[in-house]
């Protein structure tokens, strides 16, 4: 369990390919009585390689995780086969990522369906290249890992390159350009937007994309925004990416966050009642942040050995800092300040067009971020009836599709209301 927890933390800023190289072969054994963490290497030659490749990163993650729990463990390294120490039982390796585990509702039904098609080796590379875009925390990396695992099972792990732009840059630098990825049947690259700062890498990517297209080999990319909106990409690379299928993941709403919290708690063996799960889902706008909070709650319960209370959750959330949406009153104040209108007028009944739009946006944000019911919203916004609230939210939902100014405004307000 500890190994999985630390892996979740490491994978927030390290690629799956990197962790498979130096983290997955490790075995971890923690003695709580002695406050000692023993790290077992698979063989004696692994130690010097690990010291160069991953030890500083690993030790920072371990230190931070234990410090958050008020523990300063002794860190000991051993070779698993050493005769002076029994080999500890092997931990279950991290479960493969699957698209079935990706929690989504109708908002992300199309991107998920397209990803399933790409994962099917009999699909004939219908979507090539396949580009998944979306903001941080929308699940891009999960989909890339799931596709990597599915296609590795079909073609063999060695036939799949999977990594971020940094790993791609290292691979390009280490090999001759004509032979790049000639032995790979699948190319998976995360955070492609970082390539915008590297003109030389983009030239290599153009040749790689052309070679993969000519030989009908699958390419999968993830980036923060659609290729057309990424500044710094060359026109040649941009046009090649846009010729494929680009899908956009929407930010997780309350329904998705609640289901995600339920799944993570099951995985941690953590029992929380629905009110507590709802509290976490309402207060954690991003899935990565929500996952980290659940790990903290799990650690707290294992140390305290008692049921979690609402006060415990509030203390954990308060200590965790950023990442939670504010309450409805704060959302109204944020909207009012940003649009330069009085909060009392947003909650009132004045029909000036600017006030109506501000009121509709505030209702939308309360519904989207807090999951507030329509009747409760009506009461909060000065006694509006159910149909008025529904109309307001549908209006903003429609404008988010057709009006880029409203898109930008709602995005800015969401960020402010999330405390980021």
DSSP for 42-104, written as a single string: SSTTHHHHHHHHTHHHHHHHHHHHHHTTT---EEEEEETT-TTSPPPPPPPPPPPP-GGG---
In this prediction, residue 90 carries a pLDDT of 39
In this prediction, residue 111 carries a pLDDT of 94
Q: Specify the 3-state DSSP secondary structure of 176.
A: coil
- C-alpha distances in angstroms, 288 versus 252, 293, 302? 11, 9, 21
DSSP secondary-structure letter at 250? P
At 397-417, the pLDDT tens digits run 889 888 888 888 988 888 777
**Proportion of the chain above pLDDT 70, given as a percent:** 90
pLDDT mean across residues, the chain: 82
DSSP labels, 108-145 = GHHHHHHHHHHH-GGG-SSSSSEEEE--TTSSHHHHHH
Q: Which domains are seen in the chain, by residue range?
A: 2-79 (3.30.300), 99-248 (3.40.50.300), 254-320 (1.10.8), 328-417 (1.10.1750.10)
pTM reported for the whole predicted model: 0.57
DSSP secondary-structure letter at 185? S
At 10-25, the pLDDT tens digits run 877 777 777 887 888 8
In this prediction, residue 147 carries a pLDDT of 93
The answer to whether 417 and 367 have CB atoms below 8 angstroms apart is: no
In this prediction, residue 321 carries a pLDDT of 53
Helices (H) and strands (E) in the chain, counts: 19, 8
Half-sphere exposure (CA, 13 Å, Cβ side) for 123? 18
Question: What distance in Å separates the CA atoms of residue 294 and residue 308, rounded to the nearest whole number?
Answer: 12
Which tops the pLDDT comparison, 3 or 186? Answer: 186
- Decide if pLDDT at 394 tops 80: yes
Find the range with the poorest average confidence among 177-181, 211-215, 331-335.
177-181
- Token digits of residue 191: 């955070």
């Amino acid at each position: 369990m500890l190994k999985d927890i630390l892996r979740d933390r490491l994978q927030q800023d390290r690629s799956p390919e990197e962790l498979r190289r130096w983290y997955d072969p490790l075995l971890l054994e923690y003695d709580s009585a002695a406050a000692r963490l023993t790290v077992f290497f698979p063989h004696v030659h692994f130690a010097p390689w690990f010291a160069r490749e991953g030890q500083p990163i690993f030790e920072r993650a371990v230190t931070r995780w234990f410090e958050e729990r008020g523990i300063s463990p002794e860190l000991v390294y051993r070779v698993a086969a050493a005769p002076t120490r029994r080999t500890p039982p092997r931990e279950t390796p991290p479960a493969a990522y699957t698209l079935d585990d990706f929690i989504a509702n109708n908002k992300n039904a199309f991107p998920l369906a397209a990803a399933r098609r790409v994962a099917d080796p009999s699909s004939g590379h219908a979507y090539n290249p396949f580009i998944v875009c979306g903001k941080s925390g929308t699940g891009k990396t999960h989909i890339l890992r799931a596709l990597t695992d599915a296609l590795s099972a079909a073609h063999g792990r060695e036939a799949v390159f999977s990594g971020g732009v940094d790993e791609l840059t290292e691979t390009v630098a280490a090999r001759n350009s004509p032979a790049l990825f000639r032995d790979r049947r699948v190319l998976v690259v995360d955070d492609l937007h970082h390539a915008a700062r590297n003109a030389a890498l983009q030239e290599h990517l153009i040749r790689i994309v052309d070679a993969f297209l000519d030989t009908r080999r699958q390419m999968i990319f993830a980036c923060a925004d659609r290729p057309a909106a990424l500044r710094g990409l060359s026109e040649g690379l941009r046009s090649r990416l846009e010729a494929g299928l680009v899908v956009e993941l929407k930010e997780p709403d309350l329904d998705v966050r609640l289901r995600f919290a339920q799944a993570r708690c099951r995985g941690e063996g953590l029992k929380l009642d629905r009110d507590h799960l709802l509290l976490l889902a309402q207060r954690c706008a991003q899935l990565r942040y929500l996952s980290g909070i659940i790990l903290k709650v799990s650690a707290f319960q294992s140390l305290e050995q008692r049921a979690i209370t609402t006060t415990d959750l509030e203390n954990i959330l308060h200590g965790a800092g950023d990442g939670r949406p504010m309450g409805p009153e704060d959302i109204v104040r944020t909207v009012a300040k940003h649009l330069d209108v009085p909060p009392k007028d947003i909650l009132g009944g004045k029909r000036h067009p600017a006030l109506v739009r501000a009121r509709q946006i505030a209702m939308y944000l309360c519904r989207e971020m807090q999951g507030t019911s329509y009747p409760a919203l009506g009461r909060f916004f000065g006694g509006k009836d159910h149909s008025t609230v529904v109309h307001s939210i549908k209006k903003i939902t429609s404008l988010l599709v057709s009006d880029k100014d409203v898109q930008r405004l709602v995005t800015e307000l969401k960020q402010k209301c999330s405390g980021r």
